[in-house]
Structure 1
Amino acid sequence: MRYAERLQNRIAATGSRLCVGLDPRPGDGGAAEAKEFLRRVIGETWQHAAAFKPNMAYFEALGIAGVQVLEELLLEMPKEVPVILDAKRSDIGETQKYYAQGYFSRWNVDAVTLNPFLGYDSIEPFLDWEGKGIYLLAVTSNPGSADFQRQTLADGRSVFELVTALGDRAATEGRKTDVGYVVGLTNASGVFERVPDAPLLVPGLGAQGGDLAALANAGRNAPDTINVSRGILYAGDDQSFEARAKVWAEKIAVAYGL
């Protein structure tokens, strides 16, 4: 089964496009505290999650013990929920080959985020993995996405359309890995209609202030997932992780007309 099909099945089974971001802030309790915290988050939210997205930076900030926590949590993840590793790796092909082996073979995650700006040969090592997916950074959720990604080229295209052309090429070549894109909800104006109907990973909702109205008329059929991290993990209210996840999943479903 291809990655997009598995994700689509999960969305259909749950009625949810919510991607729960797993971003453990380093605290006084270190890696052990982070592990127990995330175990609670996963245990309470998985029934409302289309996917989980651990962010490598937060685990690396905890040192080697943090990376070990991630490895252990990956083994414990509910098998029903796809895992998108937010690593944003970018390097020459030979190095990328080992990133791909580590993430797809050793850690067995379902998908990984990549920075595509080294070009097609830098993503090729990730393209022939049966049942796996990659998300190329197209329009990120930070203000700096205007510096490059949303710039207009001489031929009228935006730079992010050069990124989506890489995914089109992979599809034309019949590669085994599904290619999707990261499109930040905070910078999505005029973008959704220019992005192929491939899986999107959409950050920027919740603490970053993205507006779900941008999705309302996008007319998309692909298995997009909308990430919420701080709005579930660190909302600062008296609700449980489960209650927060349920609320966000319902808001997203309304926006997508589910």
Structure 2
Amino acid sequence: MLRGMRYTERLQGRIEATGSRLCVGIDPRPGDGGIEAVPDFLRRLVDETWEKAAAFKPNIAYFEAMGLRGIEMLGELMTAMPKEVPVILDAKRSDIGETQQYYAQGYFDHWGVDAVTLNPFLGYDSIEPFLGWEGKGVYLLAVTSNPGSADFQRQELADGRSVFELVAALGERSRSEGRATDVGYVVGLTQAADVLAKIPEAPLLVPGLGAQGGDLASLAAAKRMAPDVINVSRGISYAGDARSFAQRAQDWADKIAEAYA
């Protein structure tokens, strides 16, 4: 990372350099080889896909499920990541301020990730510990790809706004205050059609393509200028066909690029 370069600038540069908006999700599931086969799987996945990846997104839950060895694997993975590719740690953390300070220190300082997903529903003071990190980013959960997003996120308030618009307001507040960390949003592709007009021009992390059945058309039609990335996890790692990771990543990158053409 160049000193003084903001996360959004770095991500935009990566998208332009690769011509790709593909975010490669890293969700390791121990198979017949057991946990000790996972490091080789991770190396192959990264080595074969990084040239087409606008970003990588390891999901911390899959590593935590493997116990202490899984946490070690995540640390090993981070040290081996290509420096050209931003890493978004999918952690969805949410806690009071002091605890969040330690999460931020662990993720940004110790593991050196470029961005983290956060659950913002404890309020602005719960995300503040993540906002003072130069060159880093956070993605606030706004409208997720699961059906349960209708329970809270899409509910309409008395003033006509939806709850996810309150989340967007947190990011706009951070921007107006000149915080060092860039704020983006998680917006599920399965939910995108009717919410994009209400989301600011900030980086989006977009899950829901591939196994979850999301459609790129509505996202591409929005003509957004921000460096949005579209995540594919199982469609690359566990597609169950004879193609290599590289071939699958190329295919998804091509599909995304065609939708934006």
Instruction: Please indicate the TM-score interval, normalised by the length of the shorter structure.
Output: over 0.9
Q: Are the aligned partners of 1:96 and 1:125 in contact in 2 as well (CA < 8 Å)?
A: yes
Alpha-carbon separation, structure 2, partners of 1:152 and 1:30: 46
The partner residue of 1:130 within 129, 134, 150 is: 134
The partner residue of 1:224 within 215, 222, 228 is: 228
Give 3-state SS (helix, strand or coil) of 1:244's partner.
helix
Alpha-carbon separation, structure 2, partners of 1:157 and 1:26: 43
1:176-215 superposed matches below 5 A:
176-215=180-219
> Is 1:56 matched up with 2:53?
no
Alpha-carbon separation, structure 1, partners of 2:30 and 2:154: 33
State the match for 1:69 in structure 2.
Answer: 73
Q: Are the aligned partners of 2:20 and 2:53 in contact in 1 as well (CA < 8 Å)?
A: yes
Query: Any idea what the Cα deviations from partners look like across 1:41-71, whole Å, max 9, x if unmatched?
Result: 1000000000000000100111110010000
State the match for 1:116 in structure 2.
Answer: 120
Alpha-carbon separation, structure 2, partners of 1:107 and 1:122: 21
Q: Are the aligned partners of 1:120 and 1:166 in contact in 2 as well (CA < 8 Å)?
A: yes
- CA shift for structure 1 position 29: 3.1
Structure 2 unaligned blocks of 5 or more = none
- CA shift for structure 1 position 146: 0.4
Count of residues in correspondence between the two structures: 257
- Segment drifting more, 227-236 vs 23-32: 23-32
> Is 1:6 matched up with 2:35?
no
Amino acid at match of 2:95: D
State the match for 2:95 in structure 1.
Answer: 91
Alpha-carbon separation, structure 2, partners of 1:8 and 1:256: 15
Q: CA RMSD in A?
A: 0.8
Alpha-carbon separation, structure 2, partners of 1:239 and 1:69: 25
Give 3-state SS (helix, strand or coil) of 1:214's partner.
helix
Alpha-carbon separation, structure 2, partners of 1:31 and 1:171: 42
- CA shift for structure 1 position 219: 1.4
TM-score (norm 1): 0.98
Give 3-state SS (helix, strand or coil) of 2:193's partner.
coil
Alpha-carbon separation, structure 2, partners of 1:32 and 1:70: 13
Structure 1 unaligned blocks of 5 or more = none
Alpha-carbon separation, structure 2, partners of 1:20 and 1:46: 8
State the match for 1:171 in structure 2.
Answer: 175
Alpha-carbon separation, structure 1, partners of 2:118 and 2:55: 17
Alpha-carbon separation, structure 1, partners of 2:64 and 2:142: 24
Query: Any idea what the Cα deviations from partners look like across 1:169-188, whole Å, max 9, x if unmatched?
Result: 00000000000000000111
Query: Any idea what the Cα deviations from partners look like across 1:159-198, whole Å, max 9, x if unmatched?
Result: 0000000000000000000000000001112111110010
Query: Any idea what the Cα deviations from partners look like across 1:211-237, whole Å, max 9, x if unmatched?
Result: 111112111010000000000000011
- CA shift for structure 1 position 28: 4.2
> Sequence identity of aligned pairs in percent?
76
- CA shift for structure 1 position 26: 2.7
Alpha-carbon separation, structure 1, partners of 2:191 and 2:142: 11
Q: Are the aligned partners of 1:84 and 1:111 in contact in 2 as well (CA < 8 Å)?
A: yes
> Is 1:78 matched up with 2:82?
yes
TM-score (norm 2): 0.97
Q: Are the aligned partners of 1:26 and 1:58 in contact in 2 as well (CA < 8 Å)?
A: no
Amino acid at match of 2:34: G
Alpha-carbon separation, structure 1, partners of 2:244 and 2:164: 38
> Is 1:140 matched up with 2:144?
yes
Amino acid at match of 1:37: F
- CA shift for structure 1 position 105: 0.3
Give 3-state SS (helix, strand or coil) of 2:201's partner.
coil
